[in-house]
Amino acid sequence: MNIKEQVQQMDAMVSKGAIVDAVKSFFCDHASTSDYGDVRTQDKNQMVDKMENFVGSIAKVNGITHHHTIVDGHTSASEFTFDFDMKDGSKILWHEIIRRIWNDSGKVTAEEYFQA
């Protein structure tokens, strides 16, 4: 499996706002995640639930910008800016790096978010 191609496909989905579909398509069943708010998930189902709840709280997508991606072996790092108006009236503007560890089958086994 070509990890670089998998990363490009996943980043393209995220860029289009298909965040839940990206998780469903590219995460292995036992994938774990953590973010800079110290929120963790232990498997794909938890991450799908987390992303469905998050996406459901978005009122308007002002923009999702993919800046860069690097791939080194089984590790990728993708830089994004997310700009959302939320249903509760708040605004989200995140500039972050998403580090992913990929297995030989081209699935994400671990994902971690860092503020850029």
55-111: per-residue pLDDT in tens?
Answer: 999 999 999 999 999 999 999 999 999 999 999 999 999 999 999 999 999 999 999
Residue 22, H or E segment: helix 19-26
CATH code reported for the domain at 3-115: 3.10.450.50
Domain boundaries, the chain: 3-115
In what order do the strands lie in the sheet containing 108-115?
Answer: 40-41, 27-34, 108-115, 91-102, 75-86, 58-72
Closest to 86 measured CA to CA, from 67, 109, 58: 58
pLDDT above 90 (res 24): yes
* Identity of the amino acid at 34: S
Residue keyed to tokens 């774990």: 32
